[in-house]
Amino acid sequence: MRIGRDVEEYCLDGLWLYHLVPGVGIYLVSSETIDRLCPYERRCGIPLERIDSVRASINVLRECQGFPESRAIDSVFRELDSWSTTFSVMGCFIADSYRAGVREMGIETPAILIAPERVYSNAKEIASELGVDVGKVFKHLMRAVLAHELTHAVTWRFSYGKTYYRYREQYVRFLEECVAQLSAYLIRSRNDGYIHSLVVDRASQRAPVEYNLWRALLPKIKTNKHLYLYIQAYSSTMAEGKIHPLMLLLMLPAVATLYSFRHVSIRYAWICTSTSATMCYTIRQTVKTMRSC
């Protein structure tokens, strides 16, 4: 499938994430190729119909008196992981060059793969639902997919690879996809922002639970500046190598039944029992910034 120059320019217009990872290549590939090269764990997710069950499971941790035992935490996340199934991805970020077929395809890692045929297929269905021209939806969806995958690349770079290599862990996947999809939503074009928002919202509804948690962060993260601070805080946390599953309660209010950032001091005290001062400072500064906005 050929991509017009207008689509390419539209996707990159004002896309500031692109400049944070200049060494990451972007490749347009077939649906078959992306399924073959995309790591298995990056094609897994919890079906959206289980979102209430996910919320209930996470709330088990919230209801614990004091700091939940490791066994309770492990049990919850093992249960969540058991619900995961594979799904068809539109894009994928690959950081490791040793994956079978990557070098043979002439792809230099780190790289972003996007399957335009699959994007177009989704765009047709979304356009039909919204009553909008499919070409316009396709451009918005391509931009959203690119922003999403660029966010994975940025967190990989800012965390020195930790976000990528710990992605197999369920709570890391929650955090990673939440911030990536939030980027896809917020990084709109200079025009047609309303249509872009609708397209990303509809695309999210067709994806697993992990891709639908970003909405709870919108009341506090409304601008690119907020988004950058959030990405930085999350990546710095991962770079420390001491992230705890209870970070989920702090950074994903959606799972914690829309737990407000104004209650963060309670969770912050818990997190500090198992993390470094640098990580806690980063979180505190980010929360302070969000409160002042």
Peptide bond into 245 cis (omega under 30): no
CA distance 192 to 285: 33
Residue 180 corresponds to which tokens in the numbers above?
A: 């990536």
pLDDT by position in tens, the chain (length 293): 556 666 667 677 778 898 899 889 999 999 999 999 998 889 999 999 998 888 788 777 666 655 556 677 778 888 888 999 999 999 999 998 777 678 778 888 899 999 999 999 999 999 999 999 999 999 999 999 999 999 999 999 999 998 898 888 887 888 889 889 999 999 876 667 788 889 999 999 999 998 988 887 777 777 888 888 888 878 887 887 655 555 554 444 443 333 333 333 333 333 333 344 444 444 454 444 444 44
Residue 251 corresponds to which tokens in the numbers above?
A: 């950074």
Instruction: Give phi and psi for 43, each to the nearest 5.
Output: -115, 15
Backbone torsion region of residue 131, taken as left when φ is above 0, otherwise alpha when ψ lies between -120 and 50, otherwise beta: left
* pTM, to two decimals: 0.81
The sign of the torsion formed by the CA atoms of 255, 259, 265, 267 equals: negative
Do the beta carbons of residue 11 and residue 143 sit within 8 Å? Answer: yes
Tell the residue number behind the tokens 């001091």, with chain if given: 265
Closest of 21, 271, 160 to residue 282, by C-alpha: 271
**Amino acid at residue number 141:** L
